[in-house]
Amino acid sequence: MHRVITAILKQEAKSPISWGALLLSAIAWPFALFLSPLATTLTNTSATLLAYNVAFLSALAGAIYADHRLEELRWLMSRRQSSAAGLLEFGAMASGALLPSALALLPIAFLKGVHPLAAFGFLALVSLHIAALLHLLKSMRFSASARSLLMLFLALLSPASIPSDAGPFSFLWRIADPLAGGPLGGLTFLTTTAQMGSIVTVLLVARALRPLTGR
């Protein structure tokens, strides 16, 4: 498997899109804070929330990009057993989400003194959750374009359209929400437990569907 990972990393290291996306993630928050009209209106609290939003969007974009790149490298993935390929895909999408989101949070960690470990721990869980959802959609045989649209819906529209007190459907809503129903940056025992439970549930469902869909 290490040869496949090495080949994928070499492919991405040659891509200017990958480097440009990482650079954009790193400068997005400082640009919004210091160079845009928002600079004069943001308080410390709203500046931190803006950084978390930028990091979340970076994670979402990074995971979707990684998913599309894996689709282009199907010839390489097809050489692996299905279980190994699934694990590799999940790890690649999680890494694709975490790396740009971590870069997006570095400026505020240095400039505003936001505790990086708690913030990065929160991002790691969100990245794993996004990767698990994409993995599930892939197991359900959705195309790459459909997975992207559905992921955007789950991440951006679903939390806004489904109330938190959705009764018996609240549990399903939290599983389908990349933030697991919690606030941005809220790394607490409750949110960590909700995230871990959601990630494990999604991965188990994806694994159960693979024999049925032939993926």
pLDDT at 86 (0 to 100) = 77
pLDDT at 41 (0 to 100) = 60
- What is the pTM for the complete model shown? 0.83
What tokens appear for 11 in the block?
Answer: 């492919």
Helix axes 82-111, 16-30, angle to 10 degrees: 30
| pLDDT tens for each residue of the chain, 215 residues long | 455 556 566 666 666 777 777 777 877 777 766 666 655 565 566 777 788 888 899 999 999 998 988 887 776 666 555 667 778 888 889 998 999 988 888 887 776 666 667 778 888 999 999 999 999 999 898 999 999 999 998 888 766 666 555 555 667 788 888 988 777 776 788 888 889 999 999 999 988 887 665 55
pLDDT at 147 (0 to 100) = 94
pLDDT at 204 (0 to 100) = 92
Q: What count of Cα atoms within 13 Å lies in the side-chain half-sphere of residue 176?
A: 19
Cβ–Cβ < 8 Å for 186, 122 = yes
